[in-house]
A and B are shown apart, each in its own frame.
Chain A
C-alpha cells in the first residue's frame, strides 16, 4: 500500500532546492540583461568579423565557444544576439498587452457587443493551432522580424484580453468602484487610474510565463527563416545557420545558441511560476 497516500507537504530540502533554482534564475536573467546592455563593448569580436581560415573551430583559446561556418566567433555572435533575442519577445508582449488589456477591460466594463466580439475572436484564434495564425500573417505580409513580432502579438492579444477580462470583472465587483462612481469619477478615468493598476500584479506573473513562450516562438520562427534575417545573430537564426554543420559533426554552432534559448526559457518559467505562486498566496490571505 505504499503507493497510495494522502498529500503531504513538500519536504524542506526540496523547498530549499526551489529557492536555489529561483535565485539562480534571477541572477542568470539579470546577467543576461546586463550583457544585452553592454553587448557591443564586451563582444570579443566585432559583428560580421569573418575569418575563413578558422571555420568550424571547436571551443578554444582564440574562440572561447568556437566558430561557425564562415569563421565568426560564436561567443561574440551570442552576445551580440542577446539584444534582439530578448527585445523581440519584450516588444511582442508590450504590444499584445496594450491591445489585450484594452480590449479585455472594455469588454468587462461595457459587456454587450464588445464582450461578444471578444468571445468570438478568441474562438476563431483558438481554431488556429500552434503558430499557424502567425504563419498566415507571414505568408501575406512577408518575412522579417517586424512581421513576426506583430503577428505573434496579435496571436497573444486575445489570450491576454480574456485573462484581463476575468480579472477586471472580479475587480469591478468590489465596492470601491461603486464608491468612485458615486463621486462622479468617469468610466475611463476609473479604468485607467484604479482598475488596470490593480490588475497589474496578477497580470505580471502571467506575462512572465508568456515571455518564455514568446521567446521560444520567435526563435522557432527565426529558425524556419520567417523571423530575423541574416546577418542578424538572433539565437534561433544562429541555430538554423549552424544546422548545415551537424552532418559534418560540428555540433557547437547549433548546440550553444540552442542551449542558451532553453536556459532562458527555463529561468523565465521558474521566475514566472514563483511570482504567480506568491500572488496566489497573497490572494488566499
Chain B
C-alpha cells in the first residue's frame, strides 16, 4: 500500500514538473511571450495583445500563471486555439476518435504479430527460423515509419488500389479500411520490440527447472508452453506492450502526417507550423499525461501477475 502511494506521489510530481516545462517553455522563447503567443505577426493588434494578456494572466507571476493554466486544464478548459478560434478541448475531442482508432488497430497488429513471432523464435531457438525472425524484425525496425508508410501507400493504395490513399474514413468498417495501412506503418517498429521481449522472456523460462519438471511428467509440448513458459513470461511482455501503446500516441504524429489523417498527431504538427501555442501545449500535455498514467498503472498492476513480487512488497 505504501508503495502504491509513493508511486502515485512520484507520478504527480513528475506530471507537475513536466507540465510546468510545457507551460513555461514559451517564456524561454526569444522575445515577448505576447508576440510569441499570438504567433502570426499579422494578428498583432492592441486588442489582441490585451486579450492574450488577460487570457494568459500575463501580469501575474509565472507560478501563479502556471497554477491558473494547470487548474483550468484540470477541469477540461485548455484555452482557445489561435488558428481555429475554437476551444482546444473541443478541437481535440473531434480529432481524438481517429487517433485512438489508429492506435487501437495498430496495437492489435503489433501485439498479435510481435507475440506470435516472439513465440516462434523462442520455440525454434538457435535455428534458422529464430535468426530469420530476429533479422527480419531488426531490419523492419531500422526503417523509419514514414518510409514504411509511404511504401505501403505506393504499393497497396496507389498500385493495387486495395486501400484509400489518405483520410480516416467514416463509420466502423470504412474507418478500419482507411486505417489498416497507417496502423501497419505504426506497428512495424513495435513488432520488433515486442517479439524481442517475448522471445527473451520465453527463452529464460524454457531453461528453468520447473519447465523441465513439467515436461518430465508427460505434459504435452503445447501445454508446457501455455501453462508454464508463456504463463510465466506475461509480466515483461505485458509491461512492454503497455509502454509501447502509451508511446504510440507520440508516434501518430508521423503516421498521421504521412496518411493525411486529421487526428491529434496531425493537429500537433499543424499547430507548430501555425504557432498555435495553446494547441501545442494541450496536445503535449495530453500525450504526456496519458503516457505517465499508463506507465504508472503498469508498475502498479505488474505485481498482480507475479505472486512473488506481491509477497516481497507485503513484507517490505
Contact = CB atoms under 8 A, between A and B. Distances in A.
* Direct contact between the two chains A and B in their complex (CB within 8 A): yes
A258 B146 CA distance: 9
A266 B253 contact: no
A268 to B, nearest CB: 9
B103 interface: no
Interface of A: 1-11, 14, 120, 123-124, 127-132, 135-141, 143, 212, 216, 219-220, 223-226, 236, 239, 243, 246-247, 249, 251, 254-255, 258-259, 261-262, 265-266, 269
A224 B253 contact: yes
A14 to B, nearest CB: 6
B139 to A, nearest CB: 6
Size class of the B contact interface (CB-based, 8 Å): 35 or more
A69 to B, nearest CB: 15
A124 B28 CA distance: 18
A128 B138 contact: no
Given A130-B247, A131-B250, A9 B150 contact: no
Contacts of B272: 135, 138-139, 143, 226
Contact of A249 (B26, B159, B288): B159
Contacts, number: 156
Contacts of A120: 17
Interface stretch (B44-52, B108-116, B123-131): B123-131
Interface of B: 10, 14-15, 17-18, 21-22, 25-26, 28-30, 123-126, 128, 131, 138-139, 142-147, 150-151, 153-154, 158-159, 165, 203, 206-207, 211, 215, 221, 224-225, 246-247, 249-251, 253-254, 257-258, 268-269, 271-273, 275, 277, 280, 284, 287-288, 291-292
Nearest to B275: A139
Contact of B287 (A14, A132, A251, A258): A132
Contacts of A129: 246-247, 249-250, 287-288, 291
Nearest to B159: A249
